[in-house]
Amino acid sequence: MLDNYFPVLVFAVVGIAFGFAPILLGWLVAPNRPDSEKLSAFECGFEPFEDARMKFDVRYYLIAILFILFDLEIAFLFPWATIFKEIVATPEVKMFGFIEMLVFIAILVVGYVYAWVKGALDWE
């Protein structure tokens, strides 16, 4: 029984070794001469303007969540679009597939209109 799992063990050990070897080599071989310039904060070539731990506006997170939500909905549209010819060719499924997608898009539109009315898409 151990013979079945031995290749998995070897694969895991080799993977871990490949992950840690460059870190270990860099730590052993690389010169370590820190100075004040290397240890200073760096932001796009300039000194940082504010504290790096400043709070972001909640609207940023709201826009990000809405983007992810509507972007992931496209992932549900692609499989339907790829088999659309097969859906239309089958008489029993033709209307069901069409109405199903209309309901799905209607739910998306209702969500989009709700976000729009609530002002989630307005950025000042």
Domain extents for the chain? 2-39, 58-117
Question: Given pLDDT bands bounded at 50, 70 and 90, which one contains residue 81?
Answer: confident
Mean pLDDT across the chain, nearest whole number? 83
Q: Which residue, among 96, 66, 68, has the nearest Cα to 80 in the 3D structure?
A: 96
Q: pTM of the full predicted structure?
A: 0.49
Is residue 58 within 8 A of residue 113, CB to CB? The reply is: no
Q: What angle do CA 14, 17, 23 make, to 5 degrees?
A: 155
Q: Measure CA 124 to chain center.
A: 26
One-letter amino acid identity for 99? I
102 vs 105: CA distance, rounded Å: 5
The answer to whether 121 touches 63, Cβ cutoff 8 Å, is: yes
pLDDT in tens, 14-32: 999 999 999 999 999 988 8
The reported pLDDT for the residue numbered 15 is 96
Q: What percent of the chain has pLDDT over 70?
A: 87
Q: What is the pLDDT of residues 31-68, one digit of tens each?
A: 888 887 777 766 666 666 666 677 777 777 888 888 88
